[in-house]
Structure 1
Amino acid sequence: MQIPVFTVDAFTNRPFCGNPAAVCLLENDLDEDLHQKIATEMNLSETAFVRKLHPGDDFTKSSCFGLRWFTPAKEIPLCGHATLAAAAVLFHTQKNTNSILTFVTMSGELRARQVEDHIVLDLPLYLTCPQVLQEVEELIKAAAGDMIVQDLRYSSDTKNLLVRLSDAYERSVLEELQVSAQHFLSAEKTGKVKGLILTLKGNSTGKQKGHDFYSRYFTPWYGVLEDPVTGSAHAVLSSYWSEQLGKKEMLAFQCSHRGGELKISLRDDGRVDIAGRVTFVLKGNLTF
């Protein structure tokens, strides 16, 4: 069997930056266990599987496809950067002729469209609620050490804990923070956290002018210690920072060692458009 496979760096226009995702195009149904085996083999934070929904569907002409995402350890319900990568494969390598692509996923229907040199994803917008510090104090200590935490929120939809660090800190402090995410597994006692977001208000002066907020994202519960650039986490961050800043249009930067930029636009229908650029670094075939 041969399956076309692509590695796409998402939320960047430079190779070896942003967040790499593998994208597999499935002409036919794949044995269920092979999805996980392939994702483990690819060993990236996510591998996306794009599948045809009906006989006669075509990667060039059809506008609706099935989409699933797997980490090296398990299937996940939503992945923004791998959706961006999947849309890029269809638009750029398959020359898909549609202006909008629809993906049927565990998180409902997601849409992608091209706008100049960006691909725009239509994602759910997830709200947060205040989180009691005492319930997650050991986890916060493992993540942020003795740093000052300014706000603490929880998203029940995504099981993400959002930790806002003090506005007194600069972006460089977040970038240089040494985090041992493997320790989160034993430090998290509630059983309700599956992802941890560290975030910081942007600095409107200096060389980073223009970024409204910064973040890093950790999800060892899904087998990924730190995800480089995360669309799904920004579906949570977008609602939080829109409320805090009083803005619907924002520019965000995820401060992993690879780094990536996301353009955010909150919509009137309760969803969010998250846009990014991509670059291709590998095209080939899986053979087994």
Structure 2
Amino acid sequence: MLPNEVLEKINGNFNQSIVVYVSSSTSNTPPDRCAVFGLRWFGPRNEMYMCGHGTLAAAEAIFCRLDVTENITTLQFETLSGTLTAHRIGDQISLELPAGTTVSASTEEKAVLEGIFACALAKPAVNIRYIGYGGPGFSNYLLVEVNEAEKLSEWWPNVDHFAELAPCMQILVVTSAAQAKGIAYETRMFAPTISVREDHICGATHCLNAPYWAAKVQDIHVDEGYTDGKLQHAKAVSVCSSDIWVSYFAVKNRVQIRGNVKHVAVGMLELTDVVV
């Protein structure tokens, strides 16, 4: 693997929220019908500890290049967040990630955060239902649920105001109940303090979204009970909107995300000037 500064320069040239690097694995005995790879994620300024949509894309790229005679059905990625497992299900890629938790903000903290949102959206107030700090493994995340009347897809925030969440809260996950039939919730993600003004489709945010919305559904439909692993159809409602299917498995404390991946380009990088 190339030095970190080179990996960061490559990302800078691509000007993407995340660039994923795949490498050969140190594992000598991969499981049956499974291939193992190393995986790292780099944002514009630093290495990331989790990226769901980038991992889905990497899995699709690998599956498309595997020799079909190898009969590989599973990929394992060795990452800074542990081993992540990807499967192909029809024309989709399924990926298992660790589930996260949130802790409610205090009344005083909520008042400060509501002021930041009001400034970002240039309006007197934003109808916020919940603000929670990410738990272990997601301590740099902030989850905010807004009322669906806020029309999350129509937001044009001044993202610079979200930088006031720094230094601890680097990744802001905003979610709301969906108004469209058949979709459980909508979501957007902003992270200006790490040079990601908006990540148009962020798989890792569902490590928090899936348990959060599963708990809400269980509370609302308490008489019906809740099925572990129930599928949630979520929608990222940024300018480049995308659909993602999510399941929360409370017993295993894991989240499964599923999505479609489309190839748009294949090329070769000449790194002589960068590496020297």
Q: Aligned-pair distance for 1:55?
A: 9.5
Which position in structure 1 is the counterpart of 2:157?
179
Which position in structure 2 is the counterpart of 1:12?
none
Q: Pick one of 93, 104, 114 that aligns with 2:78.
A: 104
Q: Aligned-pair distance for 1:251?
A: 0.5
Whether contact under 8 Å (2:97, 2:207) holds in the other structure is yes
1:283 has 2:260 as partner: no
AA at the equivalent of 1:111 = T
The 5 A counterparts of 1:59-74 are 63-74=35-46
- Residue identity over aligned pairs, in percent, reads 29
Q: Pick one of 210, 215, 225 that aligns with 2:197.
A: 225
Whether contact under 8 Å (2:232, 2:247) holds in the other structure is yes
Runs (5+) with no aligned partner, structure 2: 219-225, 272-276
AA at the equivalent of 2:55 = T
> Whose helix proportion is higher, 1 or 2?
2
Q: Distance in 1 between matches of 2:26 and 2:142?
A: 38
Q: Aligned-pair distance for 1:72?
A: 1.7
Whether contact under 8 Å (1:46, 1:71) holds in the other structure is yes
Pair 88,137 (structure 1): closer, same or farther in 2 beyond 3 Å: same
Runs (5+) with no aligned partner, structure 1: 1-28
AA at the equivalent of 2:103 = C
Q: Distance in 2 between matches of 1:72 and 1:114?
A: 29
Which position in structure 2 is the counterpart of 1:9?
none
1:127 has 2:94 as partner: no
**Secondary structure of 2:162's aligned partner:** helix
Q: Aligned-pair distance for 1:143?
A: 4.2
RMSD of aligned residue pairs (Cα, Å) = 2.2
AA at the equivalent of 2:195 = G
> Whose strand proportion is higher, 1 or 2?
1
Whether contact under 8 Å (1:138, 1:188) holds in the other structure is no
Q: Distance in 1 between matches of 2:25 and 2:89?
A: 26
The 5 A counterparts of 1:173-252 are 173-185=151-163, 187-188=164-165, 191-203=167-179, 208-246=180-218, 248-252=230-234
Which position in structure 2 is the counterpart of 1:161?
142
Which position in structure 2 is the counterpart of 1:147?
126
Whether contact under 8 Å (1:142, 1:184) holds in the other structure is no
AA at the equivalent of 1:198 = V
The count of residues paired between Structure 1 and Structure 2 equals 249
Q: Aligned-pair distance for 1:53?
A: 2.1
Q: Distance in 2 between matches of 1:101 and 1:256?
A: 29
Q: Aligned-pair distance for 1:54?
A: 3.9
Pair 122,196 (structure 1): closer, same or farther in 2 beyond 3 Å: same
Q: Distance in 1 between matches of 2:81 and 2:112?
A: 28
